[in-house]
């Protein structure tokens, strides 16, 4: 049964990635039909991001009251409704309206699924699940491309993804009994280990005799209470700057290659995708590496590879240097996000993990929302040549915050996972 639930969660992560790239892929065909300027996609994106921040902050209360399975089912349903709404929209204001459930659904499922996996499964599954998110994020724009090339319109692409979400909602609803905490895992007392020898990939069953409520929070934590937990501020700043690095690279790498490296637009767009490919492939590989290294070691390894990649991008010279650097930067980013999430229960305890992960998700969305536009303004008034230096500085801040987290809230315990 545990393996069946894990398969459903894998499907859920693919589904989580499917809608993420739809707006960017469809917008060039959408905005002429709505008779608006091309830049108004930013406002739709902002409404979606605002919804994700709100739902992520509320995820602790929702999951505590209804459980991870029901929250996931409800969130996917909201996303499905929003996607159908997008496909039937005929006015720009309708997109803004449907963007509200779009964002609320995305943030809720993201926080609930990440915490559930962090509590119940080994680190390798977190890496592979986020690899599945990358697969979904790649397939979504491909569906839009297919429907446009088949002259079916961008609306049909949204409808296809909405139907896939509908199927997933049905599967999750049927599987709700499987989402109950498995005996000896979520309810188990964490085993005590040292950070130097801890591995997030334990597969032995727990033998704790603690009652099932020992790891469950008695009530939802407020934002102020979360921030008072030792190490919480450090992990939030760390997460903010990681997402700033990832999203700034995804948004501006193509512009950097064209405006500073001198590539034509088509080649720049194709080569910029190397960063995203590096992340997706890297997360697939990270799942195997986590069998030997714990989460802290994986994050440090990722930070080192990321810095090396950015340093190569800084080197003036042939374009292949920039391509190599982007691939390495993507590979470096790969383990950081999933391993930060997976290590949260070990840093802060199972009873606090849902609250902390919910705030982490909100912080991630804020970093993704704020930093890429800020860089765009700075680059416009200076030069796109600063991009690798900007990203390197953000990576250094992220690394410093992670080390501060390790010192202030060391991983004295690891939950038993399968």
Mean pLDDT, rounded, for 315-338: 91
Mean pLDDT, rounded, for 201-205: 37
Confidence of residue 366 (pLDDT cuts 50, 70, 90): confident
Residue 18 shares a structural domain with residue 129 = yes
Mean pLDDT, rounded, for 252-274: 76
Residue 152 shares a structural domain with residue 263 = no
How many domains is the chain partitioned into structurally?
2
Distance CA 290, CA 288 (A): 5
Mean pLDDT, rounded, for 287-303: 93
Give me the helices (H) in 175-264, please: 223-228, 232-259
Distance CA 361, CA 350 (A): 17
Residue 284 shares a structural domain with residue 402 = yes
The predicted model scores a pTM of: 0.72
Kindly tell me if the per-residue pLDDT of 206 is higher than 50: no
Residue 416 lies in a domain: no
Q: What is the pLDDT of residue 307?
A: 97
Kindly tell me if the per-residue pLDDT of 201 is higher than 80: no
Residue 236 shares a structural domain with residue 160 = no
More confident residue, 321 or 307: 307
Residue 122 shares a structural domain with residue 237 = no
Residue 196 lies in a domain: no
Kindly tell me if the per-residue pLDDT of 229 is higher than 50: yes
113-127, 184-198, 237-251, 288-302: least confidently modelled range: 184-198
Q: Averaging pLDDT over each range in 107-121, 132-146, 159-173, 255-269, which range is the top one?
A: 159-173
What percent of the chain lies above the pLDDT cut of 70?
87
* 42 CB-contact burial (10 Å; exposed 0-12 / middle 13-18 / buried 19+): exposed
Q: What is the pLDDT of residue 296?
A: 94
Residue 203 lies in a domain: no
Q: What is the pLDDT of residue 212?
A: 35
H/E element, 396: helix 387-408
More confident residue, 346 or 1: 346
What percent of the chain lies above the pLDDT cut of 90?
30
Residue 169 shares a structural domain with residue 253 = no
Kindly tell me if the per-residue pLDDT of 217 is higher than 90: no
Torsions phi, psi for 210 (to 5 deg): -65, 145
Kindly tell me if the per-residue pLDDT of 35 is higher than 80: yes
Residue 388 shares a structural domain with residue 243 = yes
- Map tokens 């130097």 to a residue: 196
DSSP states of 109-178:
HHHHHHHHHHHHS-HHHHHHHHHHHHHHHHHHHHHHHHHHHTTSHHHHHHHHHHHHHHHHHHHHHHTGGG
More confident residue, 92 or 65: 92
Residue 365 lies in a domain: yes
Residue 139 shares a structural domain with residue 235 = no
Residue 265 shares a structural domain with residue 399 = yes
Residue 243 shares a structural domain with residue 390 = yes
**Tell me: the pLDDT tens digits for 383-401?**
889 999 999 999 999 999 9
More confident residue, 186 or 116: 116
Q: What is the pLDDT of residue 418?
A: 52
Residue 261: CB partners within 8 Å, gap ≥ 6?
Answer: 268, 319, 322
Residue 141 shares a structural domain with residue 81 = yes
CATH of the domain at 333: 1.20.1250.20
Kindly tell me if the per-residue pLDDT of 199 is higher than 80: no
Residue 326 lies in a domain: yes
Residue 214 lies in a domain: no
Mean pLDDT, rounded, for 281-297: 91
Residue 171 shares a structural domain with residue 271 = no
**Residue-range definition of the domain harbouring residue 98:** 2-178
Residue 39: CB partners within 8 Å, gap ≥ 6?
Answer: none
First to last CA, the chain: 13
Final residue belonging to a domain, choices 178, 212, 244 = 178
The CA-CA-CA angle for residues 219, 225, 231, to 5°, reads: 120
Q: What is the pLDDT of residue 85?
A: 96
């Amino acid at each position: 049964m545990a393996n069946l639930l894990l398969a459903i969660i894998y499907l859920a992560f693919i589904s989580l990635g499917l809608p993420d790239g739809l707006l960017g892929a469809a917008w060039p065909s959408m905005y002429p039909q709505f008779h608006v300027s091309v830049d108004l996609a930013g406002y739709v994106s902002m409404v979606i991001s605002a919804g994700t921040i709100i739902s992520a902050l509320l995820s602790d209360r929702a999951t505590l009251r209804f459980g991870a399975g029901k929250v996931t089912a409800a969130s996917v349903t909201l996303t499905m409704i929003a996607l159908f709404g997008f496909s039937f929209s005929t006015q720009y204001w309708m997109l803004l309206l449907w963007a509200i459930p779009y964002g609320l659904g995305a943030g809720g499922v993201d926080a609930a699924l990440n915490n559930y996996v962090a509590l119940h499964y080994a680190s390798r599954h977190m890496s592979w699940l986020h690899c599945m998110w990358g697969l979904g994020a790649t397939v979504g724009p491909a569906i839009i491309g297919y429907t446009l090339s088949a002259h079916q319109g961008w609306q049909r692409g949204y409808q296809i993804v909405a139907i896939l979400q509908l199927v997933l909602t049905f599967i999750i609803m049927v599987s709700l009994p499987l989402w109950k905490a498995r005996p000896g895992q979520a309810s188990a007392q964490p085993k005590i280990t040292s950070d130097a020898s801890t591995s997030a990939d334990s597969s032995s069953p727990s033998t704790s005799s603690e009652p099932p409520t020992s790891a469950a929070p008695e009530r939802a934590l407020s934002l102020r209470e979360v921030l008072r937990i030792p190490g919480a501020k450090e992990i939030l700043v760390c997460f903010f700057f990681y997402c700033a690095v990832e999203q700034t690279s995804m948004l501006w790498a193509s512009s950097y290659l064209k405006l500073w490296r001198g590539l034509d637009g088509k080649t720049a767009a194709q080569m910029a995708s190397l960063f995203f490919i590096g992340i997706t492939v890297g997360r697939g590989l990270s799942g195997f590496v986590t069998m030997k290294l714990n989460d802290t070691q994986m994050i440090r390894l990722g930070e080192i590879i990321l810095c090396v990649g950015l340093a190569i991008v800084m080197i003036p010279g042939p374009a292949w240097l920039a391509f190599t650097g982007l691939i390495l930067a993507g590979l470096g980013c790969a383990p950081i996000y999933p391993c930060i999430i997976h290590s949260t229960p070990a840093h802060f305890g199972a009873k606090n993990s849902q609250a902390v992960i919910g705030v982490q998700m909100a912080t991630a969305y804020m970093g993704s929302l704020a930093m890429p536009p800020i860089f765009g303004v700075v680059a416009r008034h200076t030069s796109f040549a600063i991009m690798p230096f900007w990203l390197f500085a953000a990576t250094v801040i992220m690394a410093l915050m992670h080390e501060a987290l390790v010192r202030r809230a060391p991983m004295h315990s690891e939950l038993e996972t399968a």
